[in-house]
Amino acid sequence: MILSAEKKSLLWQNYFGVPIRNDQLSIALAGNPNVGKSTIFNALTGLHQHTGNWPGKTVDNAHGSYQYQKKPFLIVDLPGTYSLLAHTVEEQIARDFLCFANPDVTVVVLDATSLERNLNLALQVFEITPNVIVCLNLMDEAKKKNLVIDVPSLERELGVPVVATAARQGIGLTELREKILQVATGLLQPIPRQIKYSSDIESALKELLPLVENIPNSTLSPRWIALRLLDGDQNFLESLSNFLDIDHVSFQDWEESKCAQ
Ligand SMILES: Nc1nc2c(ncn2[C@@H]2O[C@H](COP(=O)(O)OP(=O)(O)OP(=O)(O)O)[C@@H](O)[C@H]2O)c(=O)[nH]1
Ligand SMILES: [Mg+2]
């Protein structure tokens, strides 16, 4: 199910403190701490940005807007996180935004000098949404360390567009804008590589999937929900219940109807 523009704008305002217009294409900027997310955010939005806190949290919230090819974009700079498993308040904010705000595009910014560690977060985002772009930032630092990254191969391996940038020097940002436009408008449809787990986990997932498909009001990947259930992730279940309540459809009713089946 796709959220209507009205519902999306209500949800963004009430739960995330971000006002969005119906005509704006939305972008989430995710990544590990200190990889250059805010540098990219500043380069894209210039002075058109607002900062505050996430509702009820003492974590910075920055959102801003820009135009590209006559299309209006709204971009949200998420807190830096190493994972989306909600061990910290920053991880919970980033996870909830990616899971429930339903941005048109998520740009995952990676540190090109530390790809292995950074790809962990990218693979988690791939489980939540297909509309992902990987931005390989700090390419100038990688070059200094004589690291050579085969971008076309990485793109093929990951199944999503990969854009190499050196954001502080403004390098690669036009290509980033272009890819964002293409994914946001559906011209480019990434098919992110999915992690295959061990056979016992995969068979447990198979059993769970039919039970979590077609949750009312959910735009979430059933596989992600099933994985969190297997993980016993109570924090995620609370968020799920909270966010699905937006249209007064009770998650508890749905749970009860499933149990009755
Ligand atoms: N050499 C180099 N430095 C960069 C590049 N992009 C960002 N930086 C620098 O890296 C540092 C961190 O950048 P930020 O944009 O604050 O990183 P961030 O991801 O927003 O960090 P958090 O919000 O703390 O998670 C700053 O000193 C930037 O100037 C780049 O491409 N090359
Ligand atoms: Mg930042």
257 Cα to the center of ligand 1, angstroms = 48
78 Cα to the center of ligand 1, angstroms = 14
The answer to whether 111 touches 203, Cβ cutoff 8 Å, is no
240 Cα to the center of ligand 1, angstroms = 32
Structure confidence by residue, pLDDT tens digits, 108-142: 999 999 999 999 999 999 999 999 999 999 999 99
| ipTM associated with this complex | 0.99
From CA 144, how far away is CA 138, in angstroms rounded?
10
The verdict on the CB of residue 138 being under 6 Å from ligand 1 is: yes
User: pLDDT band at 1, cuts 50/70/90?
Assistant: very low
For ligand 1, atom 7, name the residue with the nearest CA. 36
For ligand 1, atom 29, name the residue with the nearest CA. 168
The verdict on the CB of residue 61 being under 6 Å from ligand 1 is: no
The CA-atom distances, in angstroms, between 224 and each of 78, 87, 227 are: 20, 17, 5
The closest ligand to the CA of 108 turns out to be 1
Q: For the chain, what are the domain ranges?
A: 5-185, 199-249
Contacts of 136 (CB under 8 A, 6+ apart): 110, 112, 115, 149, 151, 154, 162, 163, 164, 165
The answer to whether 1 touches 214, Cβ cutoff 8 Å, is no
User: Which mutation among 29, 32, 38, 171 tests ligand 1's pocket best, with the greatest number of atoms within 8 A of CB?
Assistant: 38
The verdict on the CB of residue 171 being under 6 Å from ligand 1 is: no
From CA 122, how far away is CA 112, in angstroms rounded?
13
Mean residue pLDDT of the chain comes to 91
For residue 149 the two structure tokens come to 């990254």
Residue 167, pLDDT above cutoff 50: yes
Phi, psi of 222 (to 5 degrees): -60, -35
Structure confidence by residue, pLDDT tens digits, 34-80: 999 999 999 999 989 999 899 889 898 999 999 999 999 999 999 99
Structurally, at CATH architecture level, domain 5-185 sits in 3-Layer(aba) Sandwich (3.40)
The verdict on the CB of residue 31 being under 6 Å from ligand 1 is: yes
Q: Which atom of ligand 1 is nearest to the CA of 34?
A: 21
Task: End-to-end CA distance of the chain: give it in Å, rounded.
Answer: 22
61 Cα to the center of ligand 2, angstroms = 10
The closest ligand to the CA of 145 turns out to be 1
pLDDT top residue among 215 and 185: 185
Query: What DSSP character marks residue 194?
Result: P
CB atoms within 10 A of CB 197: 13
